[in-house]
Structure 1
């Protein structure tokens, strides 16, 4: 059987993706020989490789067929300890059961878009490279071009404002509507240039492209990312055995708000009440906190990997109370109209 050294030799650690907060993730996840861990966001396999190196078996999931194809060599090197599944992490409990694991010992989720996807111009995720305005993680369903070319302007304003947290969303959507009336958008460069003309560049934020928030909003909307996150937390709750660990790494406030509220609700043992979680009878806690609050990246990691700057880790340990239904409103998932087939 290949050991950790063999697995690292096959895939290497010098690829395009650097696992964020790897040490902190392993500490919270605590994978051990004989255990089964679900890596719900396989990507380039950084977390999976490290978990295998600790002796645990891994069921890794990714909705991106490119990531699945790229993991074939790691599957071979793992000699049966890694099962790689193409699918959504919102259904991780179903995928785990399909691979023979009715319950698992750990779940790790690294949310958002991977650096692999951002670096591939043909995927259309980034304004840094001109490419087709696509942004689909799963390669099917409507594209970002379909959204900007056909979504009613009022709804486009809500998407950019809520999911991109863009304060001038109305100005951006108005400019998009005027331009698409002349000719539809097809390329990332077209959209990025338009947004830059509308918003201009701030001298105080010279390093941040004005289209950053608009591109974030479209990517989240196209892939139904916030709904997926909420459903994935529920799927992890169903899949984890008592004592199992759930570790989630987020990269922006919308994701982190959902994860924070999930753990606050599931770890709550007494009535407190808030406008999101009204005071009343408290159901049995399904998790206990594995770390206090959010863990953030250290200065050394941020210097080596700027992507880690916005990362936050939250973790919980599963208790034996039954899993509950997911409440999108309580978790702060924005309610937006959906185009048919969106979220592929």
Structure 2
């Protein structure tokens, strides 16, 4: 039985397994289950390990439940945000674990499904929700002020202030005529605002979609609190591994890791330098090209 989506390839898989240094009877957490690629590799690496997997996305529950019979007694899945891992596992009586993995960002399953509204390449409703959310992309685009939109495009989309101003103004003007309800409609607005030519390599909507998705899912809050929760659970010497894909995430990870090191709560190996995918991996899985793996160890 193939319990992993054929569309999803876990990123930096060999590097993750190496960094975890999986031990006999070890307890591990996969904070971002997705299609189960990393979880499957951890469980298969050593038949004595126990894994707790988390994912806020309800759509992965069927894949997650398929693990139950295969890894019976040493695997459990929770449909929770990863900022909840400490509270959830404390209630389960788990006080110490041997390694924690975060693979943050959105999965192939999410971006490839137009009904989820993540991609400007496929028309769908403006949602961009990873799980149970208070707001959707539709709410942000149609009801947030011009200044708020401009701010998120700069802070979370790495847009220049000038481009952010143009996009925000165009959105405000367009939504006065008609509510912006689809990914194609929003993509057209951004392309027009920035005078995008279709033969360009990187679509102009990339950064704006990234910014909206980050806000809708409160991703940066989740990341900071997820790291704090993980540190509370790690045993001494155990690794915390984070794979990120966008600049703002990596900035927060580096800042948080430096704070932990300064407070003597963790230590680095290899001076804390990131690990990147090999050229072979990028060739086989182009979506891995922007991935970075960072790792710290509980002191």
Q: Post-superposition shift, 1:253? A: 0.9
Give structure 1 regions of 4+ aligned residues with deviation exceeding 6 angstroms.
Answer: none
Deviations 1:297-328 (A, max 9, x none): 11111111111111111101111xxxxxxxxx
* Residue of structure 1 aligned with 2:236, choices 242, 257, 266: 242
2:12 maps to 21
| 1:98-177 superposed matches below 5 A | 98-167=91-160, 168-177=163-172
Task: Confirm or deny that 1:11 pairs with 2:3.
Answer: yes
Are 2:31 and 1:40 aligned? Answer: yes
Measured after TM superposition, the shift of residue 202 of structure 1 is 5.5
Structure-to-structure mapping, 1:191-202, within 5 angstroms: 191-201=186-196
Does residue 294 of structure 2 align to residue 314 of structure 1? Answer: yes
Unaligned runs of 5+ in 1: 1-8, 269-282, 320-344
1:128 Cα deviation from its structure 2 partner: 1.1
- Normalising by structure 1, report the TM-score: 0.82
2:178 maps to what in 1?
183
CA spacing shift, 1:123–1:224, aligned 2, 3 Å: same
Q: 1:202 to 1:185 in 2, by over 3 A?
A: closer
Residue 22 of structure 2 corresponds to 31
Q: RMSD across aligned C-alpha pairs, in angstroms?
A: 1.5
Q: Distance in 2 between matches of 1:246 and 1:290?
A: 12
The answer as to 2:255 corresponding to 1:261 is yes
Query: Which of 225, 230, 233 in structure 1 is aligned with 2:219?
Result: 225
What is the CA-CA distance between 1:165 and the residue it aligns to? 1.0
Displacement of 1:226: 0.8
TM-score by length of 2: 0.94
User: Does structure 1 retain, via aligned residues, the 8 Å contact 2:133–2:216?
Assistant: no
Q: Which runs of 5 or more structure 2 residues have no equivalent in the other structure?
A: none
